[in-house]
A and B are shown apart, each in its own frame.
Chain A
Amino acid sequence: MPTVSMTVNGKEVSAEVETRTLLVQFLRDHIGLTGTHVGCDTSQCGACVVHVDGKALKSCTRLAVQCEGASVTTIEGLAANGALHPMQQAFHENHGLQCGFCTPGMIMSAVDMVERLGNKLDEKTIRQELEGNICRCTGYHNIVKSIAAGAEAMK
């Protein structure tokens, strides 16, 4: 079995994995970061979104071996020094979650959205950009509000 090494949330990690091990399995089962969720396992729901070398992608649709040497950020890597990331804080304040299952993927997608498109995000843009993230609880309304507020707060 190959050994895969990468940087996750600033820390060097490595583990021996099968070639078919998915990035999300590597994160959850091999290094114990269970914040990244598996909602569908069929590349549709976005609960598993993480950032790899600055790109937001679905970690259930990426092999761990493809990420050799990469720099990965997960939901656990956003809060700094015990303070929530502005996007996490915005979800908290705007009641942007109910059960919370989709939330890690929503927040990782939201942060990527701001990094690509800037701090002023209108409702239409946010809704379009959320096409790959499914939430079964909220009806999206407060998620959209949270992202607009979080984007402003990230300035």
Chain B
Amino acid sequence: MYPFNYHQPKSAEEAAHILAANPEAKILAGGQTLLPTMKQRLAGPSDLVDLGAVGDLAGISEKGGTLRIGAMTPHAEVAKSPVVAKAIPALAALAGGIGDPHVRSVGTIGGSVANNDPAADYPAACIALGATIHTTNRDIAADDFFTGLFQTALADDEIITAISFPAAKKAAYTKFRNPASRYAIVGVFVAQAAGGVRVAVTGAGENGVFRVGEMETALDKNFSADAVAGIAVPADGLNSDIHANAEYRAHLITVMAKRAVAAAG
């Protein structure tokens, strides 16, 4: 790991100031992505701004059918929260399926969303549920937030403070996991809400999470696994790697979508 200066601000505003003053600085949340990357010297920030002492960034609440999860809330807290289980059980299940217990005890929702790993789970939930990403500067619709591979709409000195998820009528997430890392080879989040059905796919796209419009239209008419069984997503633009080639991922999208619709009921 390259050396760095360490800061532990007490508020998100103070953290944003440190970021603004140090262009090579980075936020440290749970560290479950950033620290391994730094150990491999794939990242060498000049400064780390640890959000661990910013008290009001963690926590879960529900109001008028919208679930709000603070950026520093660890995956384990989302997984076991009765508030999440009641409002959006699919989200609790998703959080409980991230990595392993030790990753879940410290890895955070804000870090996962900010990182926008193409194989991460939360981006699929954000897109399918139509989440809003709250930052130190503004509110960003999930549709405008994930802009490409490890890319987001966040400015360099902008910090995610919380994420809001409107509860869906029906929702489920199914993931075909890499058995070693538990990241998604393909994960599909299906949600049915007042505005219609959304189908978000993670793990497969070269540019990260994406929606499958054809499946959404079919499910709007008939919310059943049969409705998506015949819909194939083209392999163009999907990832090929040692774990799975693009054709296999394309096949898995239909399989996972069917399972997610069946699980959503």
Which listed residue (B5, B52, B101, B180) contacts A66, Cβ 8 A? Answer: B52
Question: A82 an interface residue at 8 Å Cβ cutoff?
Answer: no
- Choose, from A38-46, A84-92, A95-103, A138-146, the stretch at the interface: A38-46
Task: Assess the A42–B36 pair: CB atoms within 8 A.
Answer: yes
CB neighbors of B among A38-63 (8 A): 41-44, 46, 49, 55-58, 61-63
Q: Per-position contact with B for A105-147: 1 when CB-CB < 8 Å, else 0?
A: 0000100110010000000000001011100000000000000
Query: Given that A19-B5, A20-B1 are contacting pairs, would A62 and B100 also be in contact in the complex, using a CB cutoff of 8 Å?
Result: no
Distance, CA A2 to CA B31, complexed state (A):
20
Query: Given that A57-B105, A66-B50, A131-B182 are contacting pairs, would A19 and B4 also be in contact in the complex, using a CB cutoff of 8 Å?
Result: yes
Which listed residue (A20, A42, A56) contacts B102, Cβ 8 A? Answer: A56
Question: A65 an interface residue at 8 Å Cβ cutoff?
Answer: yes
Task: Assess the B35–A56 pair: CB atoms within 8 A.
Answer: no
Complex contacts, B99 vs chain A, CB 8 Å: 131-132
Question: A76 an interface residue at 8 Å Cβ cutoff?
Answer: no
Name which residue of chain A comes closest to B99, CB basis: A132
CB neighbors of B among A4-37 (8 A): 18-20, 22
Task: Assess the B102–A46 pair: CB atoms within 8 A.
Answer: yes
Task: Assess the A63–B102 pair: CB atoms within 8 A.
Answer: no
Q: How far is the CB of B258 from chain A (nearest CB, A)?
A: 24
Which listed residue (B35, B39, B101) contacts A113, Cβ 8 A? Answer: B101
Distance, CA A147 to CA B210, complexed state (A):
41
Which listed residue (B6, B102, B106) contacts A109, Cβ 8 A? Answer: B102
Complex contacts, B2 vs chain A, CB 8 Å: 20
Distance, CA A95 to CA B236, complexed state (A):
51
Task: Assess the A19–B102 pair: CB atoms within 8 A.
Answer: no
Task: Assess the A2–B6 pair: CB atoms within 8 A.
Answer: yes
CB neighbors of A among B86-114 (8 A): 99-103, 105-106
Q: Per-position contact with A for B169-196: 1 when CB-CB < 8 Å, else 0?
A: 0000000000011100000000000000
Complex contacts, B5 vs chain A, CB 8 Å: 19
Task: Assess the A66–B31 pair: CB atoms within 8 A.
Answer: yes
Complex contacts, A62 vs chain B, CB 8 Å: 31, 35, 106
Which listed residue (A112, A129, A132) contacts B103, Cβ 8 A? Answer: A132
Question: B48 an interface residue at 8 Å Cβ cutoff?
Answer: yes
Task: Assess the B31–A19 pair: CB atoms within 8 A.
Answer: no
Complex contacts, A61 vs chain B, CB 8 Å: 31-32, 35-36
Name which residue of chain B comes closest to A50, CB basis: B102
Q: How far is the CB of B90 from chain A (nearest CB, A)?
A: 19
Q: How far is the CB of B184 from chain A (nearest CB, A)?
A: 15
Distance, CA A56 to CA B103, complexed state (A):
9
Task: Assess the B35–A63 pair: CB atoms within 8 A.
Answer: yes
Distance, CA A113 to CA B104, complexed state (A):
13
Name which residue of chain B comes closest to A54, CB basis: B105
Query: Sorted from nearest, which 6 A-B pairs have the closest CB atoms?
Result: A132-B100, A19-B6, A131-B100, A20-B1, A55-B105, A132-B102
Give A residues with C-beta under 8 Å from B: 2, 18-20, 22, 41-44, 46, 49, 55-58, 61-63, 65-66, 109, 112-113, 116, 129, 131-133
Give B residues with C-beta under 8 Å from A: 1-6, 8, 28, 31-32, 35-36, 38-40, 48, 50, 52, 99-103, 105-106, 180-182
| Pairs across A and B, CB under 8 Å, 30 listed | A18-B3, A19-B3, A19-B48, A20-B3, A20-B4, A22-B35, A41-B39, A42-B40, A43-B32, A43-B35, A44-B181, A46-B100, A46-B102, A55-B105, A55-B106, A56-B101, A61-B31, A61-B32, A62-B31, A63-B6, A63-B31, A63-B35, A63-B48, A65-B6, A65-B50, A109-B101, A116-B101, A131-B99, A132-B99, A132-B101
